[in-house]
Amino acid sequence: MHISWLGHSAFKIETKTPWRDEVVVLINPYIEPKSDLPRNLKSDLVLLGSGEKNTITLSGEPFIISSPGEYEVRGVMVYAIDISKNPKEPQLVFHFDTENVSTVFFGNFKGTVDEDLADKLGLIDVLLLPCGGGNVLSANEASDLANQLEPRIVVPHSFNPPNGKLPFEPVDKFAKLLGQKEKEWLPKLKVAKRDLPQDETRLVLLEKV
């Protein structure tokens, strides 16, 4: 499985099914200020945490998940959990399994996770979460959540990258809170079950594609 960060809360996941078919998953491909997302992206599956409005053009006739429930799409298991307190403004957390790797995505999230939600999320291999403050988790709040959920890998989003112009704080404080002194930026994260860290949480910083 390969994970690329598209800016803001948007990600592209490239994975293979048990039948070795390639599947492209897009997460939160919304049109955001200064996001510089392509006008359209081709995919097989799209996960939308904040409704279906204001997305880029979704080419390739993908299966779109924007409401809570349990889904299986081309060998990818997806659990969409609504954490919004306002029925008119959905806010989904996604837990999806592919290639024996369990990934959890928090989008434009600001708040805390209670025991009930933590139990629903279960064991987490890769956690994608915001850390840039403002209308999403701050560095301290994101650090607390990562420590609570204990994933094997943490990939932050919704921060201002080096020389960027996104409306968030840089990732430096979050990295320091997670104990990472030297920052290493990767263009893409390759994840395999056998290579996951066993006794610690690893922070991975992705360059904006």
With helix as H, strand as E and coil as C, how does 92-133 read? EEEEEEECCEEEEECCCCCCCCCHHHHHHHCCCCEEEEECCC
- In this prediction, residues 126-151 reach a mean pLDDT of 97
Beta carbons of 138 and 131 less than 8 angstroms apart: yes
Q: Look at residue 195 in the predicted model and tell me its pLDDT.
A: 94
In the predicted structure, residue 145 carries a pLDDT above the cut 90: yes
Q: Look at residue 90 in the predicted model and tell me its pLDDT.
A: 79
What is the CATH code of the structural domain delimited by 2-206?
3.60.15.10
Identity of residue 143? S
pTM summary value: 0.95
Q: Look at residue 36 in the predicted model and tell me its pLDDT.
A: 76
Lowest mean pLDDT among 36-45, 94-103, 125-134, 188-197: 36-45
Give the start-to-end residue ranges of the domains of the chain: 2-206
Long-range contacts: 183-189, Cβ < 8 Å, 24+? 187/4, 188/2, 188/3, 188/4, 189/2, 189/3, 189/4, 189/153, 189/155
Q: Is 156 helix (H, G, I), strand (E, B) or coil?
A: strand
The separation between the first and the last C-alpha atoms of the chain, rounded to the nearest angstrom, is 17
**Residue pLDDT, tens place only, 10-27:** 999 999 987 778 999 999
**Residue pLDDT, tens place only, 54-73:** 898 899 899 999 999 999 99
Count the Cβ atoms, other than its own, within 10 Å of residue 138: 18
pLDDT band at 79 (very low <50, low <70, confident <90, very high): very high
Q: Look at residue 85 in the predicted model and tell me its pLDDT.
A: 77
Structure tokens at 6: 């598209």
Q: Is 147 helix (H, G, I), strand (E, B) or coil?
A: helix
Mean pLDDT of the chain: 92
In the predicted structure, residue 89 carries a pLDDT above the cut 80: no
